[in-house]
Amino acid sequence: MRFISTRGQAPSLSFSEAVATGLAPDGGLYLPESLPALTATDLACFEPLGYAELCFEFLRRFATDIPAAELRGIIDAAYAAFDRADVAPLIPLDAKTYVLELFHGPTLAFKDFALQVLGRLYERQCRLRRQPLNALGATSGDTGAAAIHGLQNAARTAVFILYPDGRVSPLQERQMACTGAGNVYALAVDGTFDHAQSALKEVFADQEFRVRHHLSAVNSINLARVLAQCVYYLYAWLRLPAAAKGNAEFVVPTGNFGNVLAGWMLQKMGVPIRGFRIATNQNDILYRLFTRGTYQVGDVHPSFAPSMDIQVASNFERFLYYSVGRDPARVREVMATFQRTGRYAFEHFDRDSFTASHCTDAEISQIIGRVYREHHYLIDPHTACGFKDLAPDRVNVVLATAHPAKFPDVIRNAIGLEPQHPSLEALKARPLVKHRIKGDPASVRAFVERHAAV
């Protein structure tokens, strides 16, 4: 299997090469050159498999350049780090509502599903190329923590995560700064997430520096992230009662379009999922797109669901590629217009597969309270966005993207109780090691220069 860029001006790559490259050199995102078909026979064979086995059966159709035993080892190790044997439990709340718990990984948010695998793929690549790897990213919370936990203690690898000092939650900071791993650098910078992000962009633009230190970006557009995320949709769908399988709508709290894109690609491979709900918070660029057909950037307004406080849904370009009939010239045209004007009006795309909702902070609090009262089930603020206006004529599978204990303040305000989780409690007792640096490109470069893996 080869992987091609959405913009059509970069050579095709193997799975491992595409994963190691991240963003394609023409500015596009990598996609499989064709989507494999999953037949009814395949689905029947998948039915009895455990999570890691299923993940292997799925990913081996893409990662054709990795020997099977090695791929299996990577996947087994990745999901052994989860605190449930079933990895992604599907919890029925009532006959028409299920929750898919995606928070049993080391950082208690769904990003672990991809980053536990990605970290191990990076490590394999370093070994094969006999090169070090320095992973560099900016985070507003969950991505940085998940990347750190995917790469901590990996050989010849260092991970540098910039975050705005005082603007991530104390628990998120602890997840980044209390690992005790010698190759992890939590970099607290003055200013906002956007400042950190733009400093990073400049560091990556310095070609000589990037090549010399084997820098790799930690972000949400890596091919391996999307493919690893397909698996939990498949796993959940296989576990639904036969009568529900044809009428299932996956409800996806989303910001970057990364999570819901994975489910949609699985549907395109032939899994008969009925549809997807795009559930946004008050930052509702995707809601507006799917209800009105116009993609238009607005300002980011910080919300109770901070991991969805996003302006530009970076994974949207992959969906765009399929929507314009897999024509890279059209993708380039749309992206250029969007770059220039901050806006694009679409004529046609697969609207039939999607519904959309958006959720204010007041609604998030109210929904957390309602779900707790009605089902004795506690959800986090991101998951709460998914419980807005569930379709009464469908079987709804709501993706629970984070554990409620990550957001104790919002939960306490909503129901008067503070949820706990043993792994977060343990963090409170560990020393916090963070590095305060200025958030300008020169300071970031100087820090990496001193601490890079060689």
Query: Active-site residues: which are they?
Result: 111
What is d(CA 8, CA 337) in angstroms, rounded to the nearest whole number? 17
How many other β-carbons are positioned within 10 Å of the β-carbon of residue 287? 20
Contact 78, 120 (CB under 8 A): yes
Least Cβ distance, residue 244 to ligand PLP (angstroms): 24
Nearer to ligand PLP by Cβ, of 109 and 200: the residue is: 109
- Residue closer to ligand PLP (CB basis): 71 or 224: 224
Neighbouring-strand partners of residue 344: 295
CA angle 445, 186, 16 (to 5 degrees): 75
Strand stretches in 281-438, DSSP E: 294-296, 343-345, 354-358, 395-400, 434-437
40 contact partners, CB below 8 Å, separation of at least 6: none
Nearer to ligand PLP, 10 or 414 (CB): 414
Cα separation, 285 vs 290, in Å, equals 9
Instruction: Give me the least distance between CB of 327 and ligand PLP, in Å please.
Output: 25
| CB 111, min distance to ligand PLP, A | 5
Nearer to ligand PLP among residue 134 and residue 280 (C-beta): 280
Identity of residue 19: V
- Contact positions vs ligand PLP (CB under 6 A): 109, 111, 142, 220, 253-259, 307-308, 382, 401-402
Judged by DSSP in three states, 4 sits in: strand
Q: Which two tokens stand for residue 379?
A: 């959800």
User: What is the closest distance, in whole angstroms, from the C-beta atom of residue 21 to ligand PLP in the complex?
Assistant: 20
Strand, coil or helix: what is 205? helix
By the 10 Å C-beta count (0-12 exposed, 13-18 middle, 19+ buried), 152 is classed as middle
Taking the least distance from each CB to ligand PLP, the nearer of 78 and 108 is: 108
